[in-house]
Structure formats: structure tokens, C-alpha cells
Structure 1
Amino acid sequence: MKNKEHFQFSTGVIAYPVFFVLAIWLIFWFEVRFGYNFSKYGVYPQTLKGLRGVLLSPFIHGDIKHIYHNTVPLFVLSTALFYFYRHIAWKVLFWGILLSGFITWCIGRPSYHIGASGLIYVLVSFTFFKGVFAKHYRLIALSLLVIFLYGSMIWYTLPIEQGISWEGHMAGLITGLLFAFIFRKEIAKPKKYIWEQEHYKEEDDPFLQHFDENGNFIESVEPEIEVEEEEPLQFKYHFKKASDKNID
């Protein structure tokens, strides 16, 4: 089995999410430092000019609170994406931005929709449903962890609070579910432990050989080597008579 088919940690797992988050903060710093307002480059639904926001809106935020609340989940979820699904990570990110932005453009209210929260909902939805479709315990565990951390975000896909683009959140949720279904067959294949392999026998397990039947640790499991006892050496002394000696 090739290494690329396994869960593996690489520099890209951290580097790409860090780069993405830094780009967002750099754009926000530029706005504050030089007095610009990039909100007009967000998604403005059902207008030709508003289509540019489909690509640009994830990099634009209204204030420090807005960007702060998006930074941590964006970093955590994109890191998990590149670790568990790195062979499709860029597809999910790029097409996730475009598709969720386009759906927002189709269903949104006549206002500027900005922020990376739509992409965050893509990642939450994709990670959860992909783990369910995979039926693999590690990916299911990841899905449960995502629900534990960000499950309450589901309420913000409904129009319960003014000033929040619930349309963008809903678009991200739909996009993530769609991608999880499209990429359902592209599941990472982790290395199997020895006890997960076929024809596994406990007596052949090198780890279990360090324990006896009662579970007590055995300091050494080196096989005993039978050594044949050698016969004791016998020394025979021969004494010559004095007359037999050569005396100079």
C-alpha cells in the first residue's frame, strides 16, 4: 500500500492553514492601517457586480470581533482537512468557496455578505458527513469531535439574529454535505495495527510475548538455549623414574 493512502502528518498540514489565516489577518490589518473598507467587495446577491464577492468575501471581515471568531475554527478545521483528506483538501477549499459563495449570491438578502464563516460551515458539514459516510472509527471520532466543538453553529443557519448572514451559513452547510457525498469513495486508508490484520494470532504478537498468562510483565522473553554439559576435564600425570631423567 502506498504511503499517500495513509493518514500522515506533513508540513502542509500546518503550513497551508497558517498561511490562509495570516492572509486574512494581513488584509484586515491593511484595511485598519490605511483606512480602507473592503466590504463592498463582498457577495451582493443577484447583482453582476456582487459576483466578485464569491471569491473575495472569505478574506474580508467587518471588525476585530468578526475576524477573531472565525480564526480559530478556520484553523482547526482546515488543519483536520489537510491531515485526514489532504488528497482532496484543495478541491474542498477552492470549490467550497466558490459554490457556497454562489449559493449565497442566489438566496441572500440584498446586502453585502462577508467573512470566512461560510467556508467554516463548509468544513464543519463536510468533516461531519464525510466521517459518517466513511464508516471508519477514526473519521467517525473526528465527526463527533466536530459536533462537540461546533455543533451549536447549526442554529446560525436560521434567521435568528440580525447582522448575521444565515444565508452564507446555510450555503456552506449544503455545500459541505454535497462534497461529502461526491467524495464519499475517496476515503483515506490508515495503516492497520497487527491485531487488525487477517490471520492474526496472539502467540505471534511480539508485544504480547512480554506478558505471561496472568498478564504479568516478563522482563525477558529470549528463548532458553539448552547447553550440553561437557564432561569434566581429566588430567593424567605420568611420573618418570629418576634414572630416566637426563641430568647435565
Structure 2
Amino acid sequence: MMDIAPPSPEPGRSAARLDRDRIRYAVLGAASLLLGIWLVWLGCWLLGWSLDDLGIEPRQLHGMIGILTAPLAHASFEHLVSNTLPLALLSTLTLYAYPRAARAALPMIWLLSGAGVWLFARESVHVGMSGVNHGLMFFLFLSGLWRRDRLGIAISLVVFFFYGSMVLTVLPREEHVSFEYHLAGAIAGALCSLLLFRLDPKPVPKRYQWEDEEDEEHVEDDEWELPRPHEVPVLWRRDDPGVETSRILEFPPRSPETGKPRTLH
């Protein structure tokens, strides 16, 4: 089983090896998922099977099979290609950053989004991986906000920069686009982030050398040390009662000739 220790900030050999293992695990897992949806589409295309049989038909008993199979089915080659790149990036980031949570988040998003479509969507056949993509995007974005660690925040910014427009696609925009699948996937991803964001340990924070140094004790520096408040003399206080506390200064008398005050030199 893969070592799922958190990424270490120390550039040692063991840290680099663990990080390579996490990257390999994430890439292989995402590639397996992509290979599955491409094989299903190619198999149906070569054999002439209808992909509608794999889709979700809301509130129809035979349509419940689509909860499991609908993400693997796509209406056209263009539909498949449009979902490939988001799935590759989002699933890789999920498996790399949250390997423990991904084991529960991926199945939960897959099943909960399909169940939401089967329960509440309009009468149609719903297929495609876009519901899972929306779930992964919301899961990654919100998990970084809940965790507030450096890796989680960085991934949140990356997925919102590339796929922030998914927030708008949960609303009805185009007639032949299943916004219900998008909305159900987004809700499932948000729920998974709230339940599973504590499952993976946070990366070990980097400690600098100066943080480990012990404080030097009994260091006296009279030149730079400021005096304490009670050591500062109060210059305006007179403690000697024999000293006059006030004095009146008289103005010089006016000159009788000019009427102006005399000046003293």
C-alpha cells in the first residue's frame, strides 16, 4: 500500500522519494479512470451499442443502473474530449493532495451525484463525467478553505483559476446540458469536503534554524537597555518645601518720556 505521509518541506532524499510515490499514485489513479471512460466509449462505438442504455433515467427503475454507469457514457466524441482534461487534472490533484479522503470522496461523489439526478432531474437520459468533475472541483476548492494549510490553499486557487466557471454551470443555461448532474455533483463534492477534510494529515510546517535556537539568558547590555519607568526622574517635581514654588515677574515700568516700556540690556 502506498505511503500516504504528508509532503515534507525538508529537501531530503526520503521526502523526495515519498513525494515521487504520491505523484506516481495520483497519476496512475487518474490515468486508470480516464482509460476506463475511453474504453467504454470505444467499445460502444465499435459494437454499435446505444449509450442511452448506460444513462440515468430519472425515477425509472431500469434507469437506476445509470447511477453506476452514466459517468462512463458520453453522448458524442466531443462530449468525451471536453470531460477528459478536467477529469485528468482534478482527479490527479485529489489523489495527490488527499489520498486518504479520495478513497471515500470519489465513490461518494460518483454515487451521490447520480442518485441526485435520478431523484430530482427532468425527464431525459443523463450521461457524462461532468457531474463527477463538478464534484471534484468543489471538493478540492472547499477542502483547501476548511484545512487552511499551504498545499490546500494553493490547490484551491489553482482549481478555481482553471474551473471557477463551473460555479455558473450548476444553473440551467443550455437545453441539452444536464445542469442537474452539475448541481448534484457540486453538492456531493461540498458535502464530501465537509466530512473528509480532516482525514489526511496536514503537511509538516517548515522550521527554521532560528526557531530552534534557545534564548540567551542573563544578557546585560546597559548601553541599549532602556530604564524602567520608576527609574526615570520626574524633573518637574520639587520635594524641598523650602524652595519657592512660584515667582512673579514684573514688567519694566514705562518710560515717562515715550510711554513705552523700558528694555533691559
Taking structure 2 as the reference length, the TM-score comes to 0.71
Deviation at 1:137, TM superposition (A): 2.1
1:59-116 CA distance string (max 9 Å, x none): 0001111000100010111100110111121211112111111011111011110000
Could you tell me which amino acid in structure 1 is paired with residue 211 of structure 2? Answer: H
Task: Quickly say closer, same or farther: Cα 1:20–1:194, change in 2 above 3 A.
Answer: same
Could you tell me which amino acid in structure 1 is paired with residue 104 of structure 2? Answer: K
Deviation at 1:187, TM superposition (A): 3.6
- 2:193 corresponds to: 180
- 1:94 corresponds to: 107
- 2:58 corresponds to: 45
Equivalent of residue 200 in structure 1, options 212, 237, 246: 212
Give me the whole-angstrom Cα distance separating, in 2, the residues matched to 1:49 and 1:17: 30
User: Structure 2 stretches of 5 or more lacking a match?
Assistant: 8-18, 215-265
Could you tell me which amino acid in structure 1 is paired with residue 117 of structure 2? Answer: T
Give me the whole-angstrom Cα distance separating, in 1, the residues matched to 2:84 and 2:201: 27
1:163-242 counterparts in 2 under 5 A?
Answer: 163-195=176-208, 199-201=211-213
Is residue 84–residue 188 contact of structure 1 (8 Å, CA) maintained in 2?
A: no
Give me the whole-angstrom Cα distance separating, in 2, the residues matched to 1:140 and 1:96: 21
Give me the whole-angstrom Cα distance separating, in 1, the residues matched to 2:68 and 2:133: 15
Deviation at 1:43, TM superposition (A): 0.8
Deviation at 1:9, TM superposition (A): 3.7
The 3-state SS of whatever aligns with 2:4 is: helix
Give me the whole-angstrom Cα distance separating, in 2, the residues matched to 1:126 and 1:21: 19
Deviation at 1:49, TM superposition (A): 1.0
User: Structure 1 stretches of 5 or more lacking a match?
Assistant: 203-248
Higher gyration radius (CA): 2
1:1-248 counterparts in 2 under 5 A?
Answer: 4-7=4-7, 8-10=19-21, 11-195=24-208, 199-201=211-213
Taking structure 1 as the reference length, the TM-score comes to 0.76
How high is the sequence identity, in percent, across the aligned residues? 33
The 3-state SS of whatever aligns with 2:204 is: coil
Deviation at 1:201, TM superposition (A): 4.2
Could you tell me which amino acid in structure 2 is paired with residue 120 of structure 1? Answer: N
Instruction: Using the TM superposition, name which of 182-191 and 58-67 deviates more.
Output: 182-191
- 1:207 corresponds to: none
Task: Quickly say closer, same or farther: Cα 1:184–1:105, change in 2 above 3 A.
Answer: same
Deviation at 1:193, TM superposition (A): 2.1
1:197-239 CA distance string (max 9 Å, x none): 893349xxxxxxxxxxxxxxxxxxxxxxxxxxxxxxxxxxxxx
Aligned length: 200
The 3-state SS of whatever aligns with 1:4 is: coil
Is residue 73–residue 120 contact of structure 1 (8 Å, CA) maintained in 2?
A: yes
Backbone CA RMSD of aligned residues: 1.9
Is residue 41–residue 52 contact of structure 1 (8 Å, CA) maintained in 2?
A: yes
Give me the whole-angstrom Cα distance separating, in 2, the residues matched to 1:60 and 1:77: 19
The 3-state SS of whatever aligns with 2:53 is: helix
